[in-house]
Amino acid sequence: MPRPSVAPPRTTAAALAAALVAALLVLLPGSAAQAAPVLLSQGRPATASSQENGALPASAAVDGDNATRWSSQFADPQWIQVDLGAAASLSQVVLRWETAYAKAYRVELSTDGASWSTAHSTTTGTGGVQTLAISGTARYVRVFGTERATAWGYSLYEFQVYGSTGTGPTLPGGGDLGPNVIVFDPATPNIQGRLDEVFARQESAQFGSGRYQFLFKPGTYNGLNAQIGFYTSISGLGLSPDDTTINGDVTVDAGWFGGNATQNFWRSAENLALNPVNGTDRWAVSQAAPFRRMHVKGGLNLSPDGYGWASGGYIADSKIDGQVGNYSQQQWYTRDSSIGGWSNAVWNQVFSGTQGAPAQSFPSAPYTTLDTTPVSREKPFLYLDGSEYKVFVPAKRENARGTSWGNGVAPEGTSLPLSRFYVVKPGASAATVNQALAQGLHLLFTPGVYHLDRTIQVDRPDTVVLGLGLATLVPDNGVTAMKVADVDGVRLAGFLIDAGPVNSPSLLEVGPAGARTDHAANPTTVQDVFLRVGGAGPGRATVGMVVNSHDTIVDHTWIWRADHGDGVGWDTNRADYGFRVNGDDVLATGLFVEHFNKYDVEWNGERGRTVFFQNEKAYDAPSQAAIQNGATKGYAAYKVADSVSIHEGWGLGSYCYYNVDPTIRQDHGFQVPVRPGVRFHDLLVVSLSGKGQYEHVVNAVGAPTSGTSTVPSTVTSFP
């Protein structure tokens, strides 16, 4: 059910003038001693004394869209203010008034949001587009109207604040990709030797600091076996996977761990065509190991050599000509792809928009099959256009089926030159990253570990934040690593956030609390963004990821409170909640959330949807009392708030392994309100080797698990 769209403006007379002013602003000269003035207000949090109705919020005046607006109630006085996030040296305010403008108003500045000084005042406002030269340093800027020019309220299409956040030179876009991005062309000597050298470092470096990205220029490469270890990504640089062909293999196996693939995390393969040497490529992975935009001209084996355990995994936008051998994989999700067939299933195999997928048959064979994916948009990727690096940003698809590429048709989307990206390298500060964003640059994080002393603020619509080689962000002093404003079309992709030793309220926040804007036409996407609490060292966070913005697509994430590694213990790496959704119409495709102290998933927004969910409850609960939730035994893996009227999920599984206290009982894996609009399909819970037990699957429905048989208890449809 769509929310009301923004009301149309009463007039569009200001649009042409606004465009002209915007163009002229680009030409304004900057002082040689200061950074060029930049637009600081767009996408920043905005508040107002009132609003005419729910379709005309304060945020619409700072969204960069001249067709949306804020409008107040029909009374004096009224105000609108914007929080720039940090103190800035201000130079200009541009007001794009709708017909309902201010005759008398003040532009006021504040460093704390409480004490205000006047930077501009008039009693003879004329409406239209007013460009005001101001000076001062402030974090908060407010337009305070004292007399309306019409019988309506005050109404602004755009409230724009310009200035600078530093005294250094403007940061450059583009540049080299750093030493840990290793680029090959077909003529590069000893490619195999370089691949083997990195693999030797990374094969067992589960919690190491090494980060690597292999990039293959378009062409054909013969006789290679690219073994992919931890924090290693391999990608082709063509616009299509078939532009870059490896006559050989891209391999993940589990020799380092005795043939057990359940810890083959944090690696990826993307945008390549493979002709496997023996006809079948091996990709034996578990969580956080995406296989995207790949063309395997043969089969794909998802198990390790010897068919040991595996607990993956994710395929998207890929074509596998032969059969996919699932074998020992406990669960797997395949989206918008084409496969020649699928063999075997263990507990939970989910397909959406996949040509050649097995028919729906859960639970007799545990296949959950959706003909299409409701909404999808593929991950941005780096490619070469001639000799120029660009980032391709794929278009949104609705009810997608099959790959977004192939058949000689160019993929739909837009290309951004690397010159529009700030290429972030290890050692860069959060302040520098935020300066680049304020200048209007996108971000490309090169492989490395980045320590943050403040939040990275992504405030501009359509900003791309792309990581290479599992670039890792660590909030050191209890800040949230990254926050996204309530704006359209932000793309977050390909990086890891690792909690620091001081508790963060959250690690990633998409949209501020109370976000209200409809983003259905151009949603924010979060893809291959992984969150970790502990493992590499002590880490703490109250919540992993919080999604406040409506219509957000979370496409493949693993949010993990560590059960092994360093800094691990019930209270040592405390993190109560993994994934919290407050926004409406949020879609999760490929949701992996594990081991949190309380709820792994809390869903408070309306009309949420999840296609595939994998979960393990926290292993290390010391006792029944430690997880007791009032009268309920344990916290559900996936909880939909009692206030929610509409929600739907397909192919969801939760497992328990309470090895510290095997007597623990968990009332259920899923807790949801019983309403006609809340529907779930193909649910399961499993007790691993009888270490703890589930009493039910969802609410009080579903048989208990029992004994040490590790056999799922299932519910095909609820209610």
Catalytic site residues? 616
Q: Which tokens belong to 32?
A: 């040689």
The DSSP bridge partners found for residue 341 are 323
Contacts of the segment 123-130: beta carbons below 8 A, 24+ positions apart: 123/147, 125/101, 125/149, 126/101, 127/97, 127/99, 127/101, 127/102, 128/13, 128/14, 128/17, 128/97, 128/101, 129/14, 129/17, 129/18, 129/21, 129/94, 129/95, 129/96, 129/97, 130/94, 130/95, 130/97
Q: Which tokens belong to 330?
A: 């406990």
Is the previous residue joined to 77 through a cis bond, with omega within 30 degrees of 0?
yes
How far is residue 19's CA from residue 21's CA, in Å, rounded to a whole number? 5
Q: Which tokens belong to 657?
A: 């392994």
Evaluate whether 314 touches 556 at the Cβ level (below 8 Å): yes
Evaluate whether 618 touches 596 at the Cβ level (below 8 Å): yes
Backbone angles phi, psi at 559, to 5 degrees: -110, 110
How far is residue 20's CA from residue 573's CA, in Å, rounded to a whole number? 54
Evaluate whether 704 touches 695 at the Cβ level (below 8 Å): yes
Burial of 359 (0-12, 13-18, 19+ CB in 10 A): exposed
Task: Answer positive or negative: Cα dihedral of 697, 531, 236, 189.
Answer: negative
The DSSP bridge partners found for residue 719 are none
How far is residue 582's CA from residue 195's CA, in Å, rounded to a whole number? 43
Q: Which helix (H) or strand (E) holds 192?
A: helix 191-202
Name the nearest CA neighbour of 212 among 197, 233, 191. Answer: 233
Pairing of strands 665-666, 693-694: parallel
How far is residue 220's CA from residue 643's CA, in Å, rounded to a whole number? 56
Q: Rg of the chain over CA atoms, in angstroms?
A: 26
Residue appearing with tokens 């209890």 = 478
The DSSP bridge partners found for residue 678 are 647
Burial 302-319 (b: 16+ CB within 10 A, else e): bbbeeebbbbbbbbbbbb
Backbone angles phi, psi at 124, to 5 degrees: -130, 40
Neighbours of 258 (CB within 10 A): 9
Evaluate whether 94 touches 146 at the Cβ level (below 8 Å): no
Span between the terminal Cα atoms of the chain, in Å: 21
What one-letter code names the amino acid at 689? S
In Å, how far are 20, 163, 558 from 27, measured between CA atoms? 11, 14, 45
How far is residue 47's CA from residue 207's CA, in Å, rounded to a whole number? 43
Q: Which tokens belong to 12?
A: 């569009």
How far is residue 334's CA from residue 402's CA, in Å, rounded to a whole number? 11
Q: Distance between alpha carbon 140 and the CA centroid of its chain, in Å?
A: 28
Q: Which tokens belong to 255?
A: 């020799």
Name the nearest CA neighbour of 290 among 373, 351, 233, 367. Answer: 233
How far is residue 716's CA from residue 719's CA, in Å, rounded to a whole number? 10
